[in-house]
């Protein structure tokens, strides 16, 4: 039987079949299925990528004996816990994970001292291989400053002296600071819980509840707490001396301190507690706000 | 004469679709080849990210292929027309 197809048609069909093959290959690779194991040779792209293969993990502990005053941790994915202990050294324990051995070996954790600072971060090769790393870091409780920046993962700081300044930021994950000096806590999606005694407090979340204890507030300081979707619950020491500005678009506002009211509207409450020395503002769009004396 | 013109128009339309597909698939394969080269030169043996556009765009190419060769005047439509004509012949 003689075919009446033109060369262009045959080329079109062949290339169409090639395109179908490519789409199926892409689908198989991207979904992590591996039916081609036996037939593929060295020329075949390796499938032990980020999305395929079983999860592999590697953990390590490193001690830093050099005395440092500041700690900076940057992470892409995974929880970060910083805990104070009674030694002068810093111990960094981490568990890194990736799908497949090759992907695991493609990134490392860098622990580097720079003057009086210690920097900890995972270093990835170019490409989209962001394996999660969970950090458990022990530090002298008298450290001066701690900075933790993460993209996805909760941040927890505990067991430190009351005057350690902290800057804790994550895009997705909760933040918990058991005790801090000046505090800057920021989460896009996650709750923030803190206990603060310092000069400046800034806590902001887009989607998450903010709760905290203000154990001390220095003169000349400021407190700013803000969330979009979530409530704000603050408990402050009895001698609080603050100029209060509370604002909630759709939620109740309550103040357990004796307040000299300067502004009272449906969604706003302003006034002075004591002499009103330190500005204290709390805002939310969807949620309630409460401030009460500590038990 | 009208039937001949109609046939010519249809033939033109089908040929046009097939040529469109041919251009589309050649550009697709060339672009994917370039992306695969960039991917494997920058991260040899690394994550094959170029397969994401290959999949996304590829779905469109496959749809184009099916419409050019199977449906629009292609074998499927031809067979259906033939069957319909056979039925009409039986009725007469």
CA dist., res. B54 & res. B65, Å (int): 15
Chain B contact present for A39, CB below 8 A: no
Mutate to test the interface with B, among A5, A13, A22, A43 (most CBs of B within 10 A): A22
Residues whose CB falls within 8 Å of the CB of residue A168, separated by 6 or more in sequence, listed in order? A146, A147, A148, A155, A157, A175, A177, A183, A184, A185, A186
Cβ atoms A167, A147 nearer than 8 A: yes
CB contact under 8 A, B55 and A30: yes
Q: What is the pLDDT of residue A50?
A: 46
B29 vs A contacts (CB less than 8 Å)? 15, 18-19, 22
Model pLDDT, residue A10: 85
The CA-atom distances, in angstroms, between B11 and each of A7, A122, A285, B16, B20 are: 17, 61, 63, 8, 14
Q: Chain B within 8 Å of A29 (Cβ-Cβ)?
A: yes
Q: Which two tokens stand for residue A64?
A: 């830093």
The answer to whether A8 contacts B59, with C-beta atoms less than 8 Å apart, is no
Strands A268-273 and A242-250: antiparallel
pLDDT per position as a tens digit, B53-78:
999 999 999 998 888 887 665 566 67
Q: What is the tens place of the pLDDT at every residue in A50-108?
A: 445 567 889 999 999 888 999 999 998 899 999 999 998 999 999 998 877 777 888 89
Beta bridge partners of A120: A73, A111
Spatial contact of A278 and A216, defined as CB atoms under 8 Å apart: no
- Cα of first residue to Cα of last residue in chain A, in angstroms, is 95
B61 vs A contacts (CB less than 8 Å): 16, 19, 23
Q: Which residues contact B56 (CB under 8 A, 6 or more apart)?
A: none
Q: For the residues A169-188, what does the mean pLDDT come to?
A: 93
Q: Cβ contacts of residue A68 below 8 Å, gap of 6+?
A: A90, A113, A116, A117, A118, A143
- Contact B58/A9, CB-based, under 8 Å? no
Q: Where are the domains of chain B?
A: 2-91
* Buried residues in B1-28 as b, exposed as e (16+ CB within 10 A): eeeeeeeeeeeeebeebbeebbebbeeb
Residue A40 Cα, gap to closest chain B Cα (Å): 14
Q: Which residues on chain A are in Cβ contact (under 8 Å) with B48?
A: 29, 45, 49
**Is the Cβ pair A30, B26 closer than 8 Å?**
no
In the predicted structure, residue A275 carries a pLDDT above the cut 60: yes
CB A192 within 8 Å of CB A203: yes
Out of A103, A106, A128, whose CB is closest to B49?
A128
Chain B interface, best mutation among A14, A23, A98, A100, by max B CB count within 10 A: A23
Lowest mean pLDDT of A14-28, A208-222, A272-286, name the range: A14-28
Quick check: B18 contacting A, CB < 8 Å? yes
* Count of CB pairs separated by less than 8 Å, A with B: 86
Which structure tokens are listed for A39? 């037939």
> How far are the Cα atoms of A122, A191, A202, A277 from residue A253, in angstroms, in the given order?
43, 19, 20, 21
Lowest mean pLDDT among A210-219, B4-13, B40-49: B40-49
pLDDT digits (tens, 9 = 90+) for A115-146: 899 999 998 876 556 788 999 999 998 899 99
> How far is it, in rounded angstroms, from Cα A273 to Cα A283?
18
Judge whether A137 and A80 are in contact, CB under 8 Å. yes
**Helices of type H across chain A:** 7-31, 101-105
For residue B92, the number of C-alpha atoms closer than 13 Å in the C-beta half-sphere is 6
* pLDDT of amino acid B3: 66
Q: Is B41 on the interface with A (CB under 8 A)?
A: no
Residue B83: partners with Cβ closer than 8 Å, 6 or more residues away: none
Report the pLDDT averaged over residues A256-263: 93
Residues pairing with A169 in the sheet? A149, A186
Of A110, A11, A86, A100, the residue nearest A48 (C-alpha): A100
H/E/C letters for each residue in A121-163? EEEECCCCCCCCEEEEEEEECCCCEEEEEEEECCEEEECCCCC
Distance in angstroms (rounded) separating the CA atoms of residues A279 and A218: 11
Output the six-digit token pair for A85: 């202990």
The minimal CB distance from B54 to the residues A22, A50, A102 is found for: A22
Question: Given CB atoms, is A7 within the 8 Å cutoff of chain B?
Answer: no
Q: How far is A38 from chain B (nearest CA, A)?
A: 18
ipTM more than 0.85?
no
A41 touches B at CB < 8 Å: no
Phi-psi region of B45 (alpha: psi -120 to 50; beta: other; left: phi over 0): left
**What backbone phi and psi angles, to 5 degrees, belong to A52?**
-130, 170
Angle at A40 between CA A38 and CA A44, to 5 degrees: 155
């Amino acid at each position: 039987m003689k075919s009446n197809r033109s060369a262009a048609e045959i080329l079109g069909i062949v290339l169409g079949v090639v395109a179908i093959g490519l789409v199926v290959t892409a689908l198989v690779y991207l979904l992590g299925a591996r039916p081609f194991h036996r037939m593929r040779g060295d020329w075949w792209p390796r499938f032990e990528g980020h999305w395929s293969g079983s999860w592999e993990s590697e953990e390590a502990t490193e001690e830093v004996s050099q005395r440092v005053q500041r700690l900076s941790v940057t992470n892409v994915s995974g929880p970060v816990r910083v805990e104070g202990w009674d030694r002068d050294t810093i111990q960094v324990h981490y568990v890194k994970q990736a799908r497949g051995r090759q992907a695991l070996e493609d990134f490392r954790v860098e622990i580097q001292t720079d003057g009086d600072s210690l920097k900890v971060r995972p270093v990835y090769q170019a490409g989209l291989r962001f394996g999660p790393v969970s950090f458990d870091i022990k530090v002298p409780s008298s450290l001066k400053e701690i900075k933790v920046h993460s993209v996805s993962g909760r941040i927890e700081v505990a067991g430190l002296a009351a005057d350690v300044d902290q800057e804790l930021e994550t895009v997705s994950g909760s933040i918990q600071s058991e005790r801090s000096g000046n505090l800057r806590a920021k989460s896009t999606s996650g709750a923030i819980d803190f206990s603060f005694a310092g000069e400046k407090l800034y806590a902001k979340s887009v989607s998450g509840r903010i709760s905290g204890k203000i154990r001390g507030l220095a003169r000349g300081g400021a407190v700013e707490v803000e969330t979009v979707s979530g409530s704000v619950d603050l408990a402050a020491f009895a001698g609080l001396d603050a100029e209060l500005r509370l604002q909630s678009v759709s939620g109740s506002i309550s103040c357990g301190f004796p307040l000299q009211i300067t502004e009272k509207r449906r969604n706003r409450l302003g006034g002075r507690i004591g002499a009103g020395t330190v500005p204290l503002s709390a805002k939310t769009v969807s949620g309630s706000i409460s401030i009460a004396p500590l038990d | 004469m009208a039937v001949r013109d109609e046939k010519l128009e249809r033939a033109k339309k089908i040929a046009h679709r097939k040529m469109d597909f041919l251009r589309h698939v050649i550009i697709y394969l060339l672009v994917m080849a370039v992306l695969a080269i960039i991917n494997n030169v920058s991260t040899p043996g690394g994550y094959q990210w170029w397969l994401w556009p290959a999949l996304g765009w590829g779905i469109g190419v496959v749809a184009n292929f099916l419409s050019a060769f199977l449906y629009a005047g292609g074998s499927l439509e031809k067979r259906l027309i033939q069957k319909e004509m056979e039925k009409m012949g039986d009725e007469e």
